[in-house]
Amino acid sequence: MAKTRLVVVGNGMAGLRFLEEVTALAPDRFGITVIGEEAGPAYNRVLLSPLLAGEISAADVCMRPRDWYVQNQIALISGVAARELDPASRTVKLADGGCVDFDVCVLATGSEPIRLKVPGAALNGVEVFRALSDVDRLLRCAGARRRAVVIGGGLLGIEAAYGLKRAGADVTLVHLMDRLMERQLDYTAAALLKEALESKGIEVLLGAATTRIEGRESVERLILNDGRCIPASLIVMAIGIRPRIDLVHKTAIRCHRGISVNDRMQTSVPGIFAIGECADHRGIVYGLVEPAYEQARVAAHAICGRDAVYQGSVLSTNLKVSGVPVFSAGDFDGIGAEHVVLRDEPGGSYRKFVIREGRLAGVVMIGDTADALWYCDLIRSGRDLSPFRASLPFGRAYAEAA
């Protein structure tokens, strides 16, 4: 009996998790081909920052070696981009002229970095930080005593600044907004993070807009809107990402911010699914690993004919930003809600809990992020806090004892 031809476009973290899920559910049902634009097999993009900082080796970011694909009878096409998707003929055309046929297709094309459109943006030495190949390029540019400017005070920009500092560069971080990581942190937590970065020798400029980049052939300086001039031989743009959806633009597949999908991760064209950073579910594009993994699980179950639905994710961030533990989830600003705050200034620790109608609506923590996942579960479940509200800031053990 002929196997169903399953093609996965994108071999990043979402695409790999889908492969793991589908091969576990139905190991002999599909003839699988995965198309990856990058040269190697899937790697952990979350670990690019410690790789840039020299805290881990390139081997540590690899998620599955090529042998794993062979053992699971998956044809891996790497180093070749998918250029055209034809839903009518059920084909994916490749940049090298090749063509792959499919019965079922999963789009896991991810996202691409946004570049500022300012004069001088095309000069040598203006880079982005998104892929494994970017790490090698940044390290070549960031030798000792080199001047580097990172534009963008979100997670990726902060991690790039930290990594470049660890690599020996003098680093200035420029951010348009009035606080770092404004999508994940309130003002107090962001101020603590700023202090932590400055203690590591990183200059942080807030409320600073870039107007142009100057230099002859290569970068020499960055000019801000208030006239300040920052010398630089390397500029890293880390101002955000956008879903990669070019592959479907000429098709009947519906798009909004990303590729529109239903609760089973199906697009508007039967037999074609989308997951991860390229997928738009109920008007939301998640740029985080946990939602991508859940979407991969649901898509695998749906394709295998099993019941599973994706109902969205509670937005949360749980990681170390430049060595500083940071966690936020839900409505962390909590405008108009009750706030419960625990602050340890000498220890650099801060916790804020947002409570609406007796239930946890959001949380932000920096420095001490113990029990972060428990707090996230409280938000998801909508559990009544009244039995342990007074003990909530002190963690799960105290709350459950109460």
Does residue 68 share a domain with residue 136? Answer: no
**Would you say residue 308 has pLDDT above 70?**
yes
Does residue 245 share a domain with residue 233? Answer: no
Q: Considering the domain boundaries, does residue 149 fall inside one?
A: yes
Does residue 279 share a domain with residue 360? Answer: no
Last residue within a domain, chosen from 273, 303, 333: 303
Does residue 225 share a domain with residue 245? Answer: no
Q: Considering the domain boundaries, does residue 311 fall inside one?
A: no
Query: How far is residue 74's CA from residue 345's CA, in Å, rounded to a whole number?
Result: 53
Which tops the pLDDT comparison, 324 or 283?
283
Does residue 293 share a domain with residue 328? Answer: no
Does residue 161 share a domain with residue 16? Answer: no
* Mean of per-residue pLDDT scores for the chain: 94
Q: Which one-letter DSSP state was computed for residue 175?
A: -
Q: Considering the domain boundaries, does residue 168 fall inside one?
A: yes
User: What's the domain range around 141?
Assistant: 126-237
210 in Cβ contact with 239 (< 8 Å)? no
> Tens digit of pLDDT for each residue in 260-295?
999 999 999 999 999 999 999 999 999 889 999 999
SS3 (DSSP) at 303: helix
CATH of the domain at 253: 3.50.50.60
Whole-angstrom CA distances from 81 to 202, 341, 383 are 37, 49, 46
- The confidence score (pLDDT) of residue 127 equals 96
Q: Please give the torsion angle defined by the CA atoms of residues 45, 46, 52 and 55, in that order, rounded to the nearest 10 degrees.
A: -130
- Supply 144's token pair: 């000792």
Q: Considering the domain boundaries, does residue 120 fall inside one?
A: no
Q: What is the mean pLDDT of residues 2-18?
A: 97
- Please count the structural domains in the chain: 3
> Tens digit of pLDDT for each residue in 193-233?
999 999 999 999 999 999 999 999 999 999 999 999 999 99
- The confidence score (pLDDT) of residue 148 equals 96
Q: Considering the domain boundaries, does residue 309 fall inside one?
A: no
> Tens digit of pLDDT for each residue in 336-374?
999 999 998 888 889 999 999 999 999 999 998 989 999
CATH of the domain at 322: 3.30.390.30
Beta bridge partners of residue 43, listed in sequence order? 62
Does pTM top 0.75 for this prediction?
Answer: yes
Last residue within a domain, chosen from 196, 222, 237: 237
Q: Considering the domain boundaries, does residue 117 fall inside one?
A: no
Does residue 292 share a domain with residue 272? Answer: yes
Does residue 269 share a domain with residue 283? Answer: yes
